[in-house]
Amino acid sequence: MRFRSRRRQGESMDIAIWFDFASNYSYLSVMRVEACARERGVGVSWRPFLLGPVFKSLGMDNSPFVTQKIKGAYVWTDMERQCAKYRLGWTKPTTFPRRSILPARIATLADGQTWQGEFIRQVMQLNFVEDHDMEDHAALGAILASLGQDGPSIIAAAEADAIKQQLRERTEQARLRGVFGAPTFFVGDEMFWGNDRLDDALDLAATRR
């Protein structure tokens, strides 16, 4: 079954990745998408959003990996296998899902900036490799400094009302486009859900260039 929504003005036929920093399967895709896209000559558009409000709109109070114990137990075993497969670092977070509103705001503020992708990857590693609080100002400031940015200024700007509203609007846009989990990929109007559909989405984007 294919899910369609109206194409956004100015959207290319490259791949847009909708992800949540606290999503374990988003971690797998975030760490690989730019390199895999580059091999196909495809560009990447980052779309950070918050899964929590989307889940609530679907009548869920928490991640199904938390509320469904059998599924949750399977997922952590699967993550070990998938990270070994992709040669990614992995530490099961002691807090899941971990609060990640501040990095989502920073990543939203970074739209179109050359450091956006690397910031996103380093924050993902902070959570899923270092098992560290993703809203720790010192840790986020260190990541931003490593990318040549003024950490305190960026963090302060990300807490401004305009960025908060931008992230809320993007989260609502995700819901309106039919997003129900992360990662989700769009190639134009074509929607693909889940890390295991990343290659399918990239292949479609490559054929449409």
**Segment 38-73, tens digit of pLDDT:** 999 999 999 999 999 897 877 766 566 555 677 767
Do 151 and 142 touch, CB atoms closer than 8 A?
Answer: yes
CA distance 120 to 26: 11
Identity at 132, one-letter amino acid code: H
CA atoms within 13 A on the CB side of 87: 0
Computed over every residue of the chain, the mean pLDDT equals 90
**Segment 74-96, tens digit of pLDDT:** 899 999 999 999 999 999 999 99
Which long-range CB contacts under 8 A does 194-199 form with residues at least 24 apart? 194/25, 195/25, 195/26, 195/28, 195/29, 195/82, 198/29, 198/32, 198/33, 198/36, 199/36
**pLDDT (0 to 100) of residue 206:** 94
**pLDDT (0 to 100) of residue 68:** 65
Tokens of 133: 């609080």
Q: Which residues contact 116 (CB under 8 A, 6 or more apart)?
A: 46, 107, 110
Please give the share of the chain, as a percent, with pLDDT higher than 90: 81
**pLDDT (0 to 100) of residue 8:** 44
CA distance 161 to 157: 9
Has residue 126 got a pLDDT over 60? yes
Give 12 or 6, the one with higher predicted confidence: 12
The domains found in the chain, sorted by start residue, are: 15-208 (3.40.30.10)
Tokens of 16: 């847009």
Has residue 99 got a pLDDT over 70? yes
Has residue 3 got a pLDDT over 50? no
